[in-house]
Chain A
Amino acid sequence: MATAISIQGLTKKYVDVWAKQEVIAVNNLNLEVQEGEIFGFLGRNGAGKTTTIKMLLGLIFPTAGDATLLGKPMGDNVVKSMISYLPEETYFYDSMSAWDLLDFYGRLFRIPGAERQRRIKLSLEKVRLQPEAWRRNIRGYSKGMRQRTGIAQALINDPKVLFLDEPTSGLDPIAHAELRDIVASLKDEGKTVFLSSHQLADVELICSRVAIIHRGKLLRTGQITDLLAGERTEIVVKGAGLSNGTLQNLRAITPDIEPLEELQALKLFSEDDNQTSAVIDLVRNAKGSVISVVPHKRTLEQVFVETVRKEEGL
C-alpha cells in the first residue's frame, strides 16, 4: 500500500518575544500513514496536534524537518486538490447556507458547474444534513449541523486524504455518535483519514492505527490491536489478616493496588496469569479471601494514560 503521509523530523518552535520563552510545539516528529488508514493522532490539549496538521497543509512553516503528502512536498497545488481539511472550531462563513458554502469551496477546487451541483448534493447527503437546512443560513445551525457541514465541505473534492481536527469535540451524544459513524464510513470508501482527537473511545472504535503525541513528542505509535493486547485482571481481596507485611508483599507483585473503602477490601490489577496466581496464593496464606477475579480488556484510555504518565514520571 502506498504511503499517504510521510513525516520526517518535523519540528515547530514558537518564540515568545515578550516572555523570551521558547515553546517547542512539535519536536522532531517522524510518522508514516498508509493510504486507506484511519489514523488516530492522539494527544492532550496543547500536545501539538493542530500545529502538526497546519504544517502539513502549508499554513505555517516548520522550524525543521520535512514531510510529503501522497509522495509530493507539502503545499503542492496538485496535492492540495486531493486532500481536504476540517479545522477545529471553525465558524465558516455563517451568513451563507451550507449549499452556498459548498458551492464556494467547490469553485476553489475549480470543479465545473454541473459537477459541482452534483458533488454538493452528494456531500450533504453523505453527512446526513437534513435537506430542509441546506438553503438556510449556517448561523441558525446547531453545533452538530455545523460539524456535518464541515465534513461535507471536506468531501466536496472527493479527496484521497482528509485531515479532521477534533471533529467530534463538544457535540451532544447523539450527534457525536452519528458523526463518528460518518467518519468511520470513510474507510469503506478507501479514504485516508488523519484524525486528531482526544476522544479515546471514538478512536478505539474507528481507527486502525494511532500515534500518541505529548508535549510535541511522539511517545508511541502502533496498531490499536497491538496496543490493547494483553489483558489485565482485576482481583478484589479482603480479610483481617491482610497486615501491612502482606500488603508490602502484594505490592512487590503488582504496584497497582487501590483500597476499596466501603468494602474494606483491596483492588489489585495483575498483568498476567503468573501474577494472578501469586496474588491469590499470598492472600490465601494470609487467611484472606479472594472476592473476585475478573479479566479486563485494556482500553485505549488506559494505554494513553499509562503512556503519558510514564513520560511525565508519575
Chain B
Amino acid sequence: MGVIYAIARQTVREALRRKIMWIFLVIGVFLISLGPVFGFLSPKDSQTVLRSLGLAAILLAGLFITIVTCIYLIPVEIERRTIYTVLSKPVQRYEFLLGKFLGGFFTVFINIAAMGIVFLAMLYFQEGHHIAPEMARGVMLTFFQMLLLAAITIFFSTITTPVVNFFLSFGVFLVGNLSSVTDTLTTSQNKIAHGVGQFIYYILPQFGNFNVQNRLIHPEESIVNMNAYIVQNIFYSLAYSAVVLAVAIILFDRREV
C-alpha cells in the first residue's frame, strides 16, 4: 500500500507540472465564468445557459485534462527509463500501474473539484444564495465519468502510443456518449445495425448515461428515481473501471519495458 501511495504521489507531482493541463483548466474556468454574461436573457433562459454552460465546460475541460494527463503517465516513464529504476525495486507491476492510475486520477479529481467549486460558487451567487442539489450531482457524475475514462486511457496506454491512445480514448468516449443512437440501433430490425448497437451497448462504456445535465436542466424529462439512477451510474463507473484496470494489469505484467 505504501508503495502504491508513493508512486501515486510522485505521479501527481509530475502531472501537475504539465502546462497543457493548466491550459485546459484555465479554459474550463473561463467558460464557466462566461455564464453570467447571458444575464440579459429572460430569467429562465439565463438560468438554463448558466447551468448547461457550466456543466458542459467542466465535462469538456475534464475530458481533455483526463486524456492528456493519462496518455503520458506510462509512456513517459518508459521513454525516460525511470520505469527501470522503479520496477527493478521491490515493486510489483500491478502496484506500479495502480499507483500511476491513482495519481493520474487524483490529478483529474483536483481539476474537476476546482472547476466544480467555481461553478457551484457562481450558482450560489447567481441563484439567490442557493445551490441546486442537482447541479452538485451533475458535477459528481462528471467526476465518475472521468474516473472511468481515466481507467480506459491507462488501459490503452499499456498497449499503444500516446498519439494513438489520444484518438482511441477520445473515440471510445464519443461513441460511448451516443446512447440515443445506441438505443435506436439496438431496437433496429436490421441485423447488422442491431449487432453494432449491442456491441456498443455491452462492450463500450456507457458514457452517455452520466450526462444527466439535460435531464437535470429539463426536469420534465425526469428520471423516476434520481438517487437510484445516480448510485447505479457510480456503481457502473467503479465496476467498469475495476474490470478495465484488471485487464490492463494482466497485459502490463507480461509487457517488456
Contacts and interface: CB of A to CB of B under 8 A. Distances in A.
B82 A60 contact: no
B257 A77 contact: no
Nearest to B96: A108
A87 B84 CA distance: 7
Interface in A70-126: 77-78, 80-81, 83-93, 95-96, 104-105, 107-110
Chain A interface, >50% SS class:
loop
A104 B81 contact: no
Given A61-B256, A93-B10, A93-B14, A108 B80 contact: no
Given A93-B10, A107-B3, A77 B92 contact: yes
B43 interface: no
B88 interface: yes
A108 B3 contact: yes
Nearest to A88: B81
B2 A110 contact: yes
Interface in A50-78: 54, 57-61, 77-78
B257 A59 contact: yes
Interface string B64-90: 000000000000000011101111111
B64 to A, nearest CB: 22
A89 B256 contact: no
A81 B14 contact: no
A163 B13 CA distance: 28
B82 A57 contact: no
B44 interface: no
A96 B92 CA distance: 23
A11 interface: no
Contacts, number: 77
In the complex, which of the residues B80, B84, B89, B257 has the most CB atoms of chain A within 10 Å of its own CB atom? B89
A110 B85 CA distance: 15
Given A61-B254, A81-B90, A92 B85 contact: yes
B6 interface: yes
Contacts of B87: 57-59
A270 interface: no
Contact of B84 (A90, A104, A108, A157): A90
A153 interface: yes
B91 interface: yes
Contacts of B3: 107-108, 110
Contacts of A80: 88-91
B19 interface: no
Nearest to B84: A87
B85 A87 contact: yes
B256 A110 contact: no
A54 B84 contact: yes
Nearest to B9: A104
Given A60-B257, A108-B91, A153 B2 contact: no
5 cross-chain pairs, A with B, having the tightest CB-CB distances, nearest first: A107-B6, A85-B88, A60-B256, A91-B80, A80-B90
Given A58-B87, A87-B84, 10 more contacts: A59-B87, A61-B256, A80-B91, A81-B90, A85-B88, A90-B82, A92-B80, A92-B82, A108-B90, A110-B3
Interface of B: 2-3, 6-7, 10, 13-14, 17, 80-82, 84-92, 254, 256-257
